[in-house]
A and B are shown apart, each in its own frame.
Chain A
Amino acid sequence: EVQLLESGGDLVHPGGSLRLSCAASGFTFTSFGFSWVRQTPEKGLEWVSTINGRNTYYAESVKGRFTISRDNSKNTLYLDMAGLRVEDTAVYYCAKGGVDTAMIIDWWGQGALVTVSP
């Protein structure tokens, strides 16, 4: 069974940094692309970043501050977040891309809460 387990969510001050991790199991990790999607009651679901092969993509709101990466030897996806802002507060979901395209999410993790507050 596919499992995506996020960790690293925490309370941080504005300007701080945080690393989210997503441990994957139940499928061949190297065969798929992955995304991070965040959710707030105010903005709903918001795409953050996707990694597909050697290509990475970012939302304008996080470009230059967040970095998506993966360690295929550990079956783990990462999101390094720097220069955090109050508006980055959200539940962050690790999401697995589909067979045909990384841009269609066919499995979501349970989410990690990131709170940015003074």
Chain B
Amino acid sequence: DIVMTQSPDSLAVSLGERATIHCRSSQSVLQSSKNKNYLTWYQQRPGQPPKLLIQWASTRDSGVPDRFSGSGSGTDFTLTISSLQAEDVAVYYCQQSYSIPLTFGGGTKVEIK
């Protein structure tokens, strides 16, 4: 199984400041033949189900604000919120879809400082 490790477990950021979340996979999730990283980011606000933010490591889903960006390749990935807003308070998860079983990171809780 591919193990997904996120860091930090939580972080507190001031409004308007940058938040950076890391995700590492135990093996590469880059499919070379398609040049695609099978890495997805989800946002889960309190009391809500997860919501798709970014797929293929860096492609924002429709309607996702451009302050959210994803980067990385292979085994190391980053989710960046460039200017934190109050509505961004949530837990963020990474997930690999490279192989079965699908696996998720443990989540990173983002709060307002």
Contact = CB atoms under 8 A, between A and B. Distances in A.
Contacts of B97: 101, 103-104
Interface residues of A, number: 22
A109 B51 CA distance: 10
Interface string A52-79: 0000010110000000000000000000
B61 interface: yes
Given A44-B93, A104-B55, 18 more contacts: A44-B104, A45-B50, A45-B107, A47-B101, A47-B103, A50-B102, A57-B101, A60-B101, A98-B52, A101-B97, A103-B38, A103-B97, A105-B52, A107-B52, A108-B50, A109-B49, A110-B49, A111-B49
B49 A98 contact: no
Contacts of A59: 101
14 contacts: A44-B104, A44-B107, A45-B50, A45-B93, A47-B102, A47-B104, A50-B102, A57-B101, A93-B50, A103-B38, A103-B97, A104-B38, A105-B40, A111-B49
Chain A residues touching B, majority SS: strand
Q: Which 5 interchain pairs have the tightest Cβ spacing?
A: A103-B97, A108-B49, A47-B102, A45-B104, A106-B52
Interface residues of B, number: 20
A46 interface: yes
Interface string B50-64: 111001000001000
Given A57-B100, A110-B49, A44 B55 contact: no
A7 B9 CA distance: 32
* Of B49, B55, B106, most A-chain CB atoms within 10 Å: B49
Nearest to A61: B101
Contacts of B95: 45, 105
* Of B40, B42, B105, most A-chain CB atoms within 10 Å: B40
A57 to B, nearest CB: 5
* Of A46, A105, A106, A110, most B-chain CB atoms within 10 Å: A105
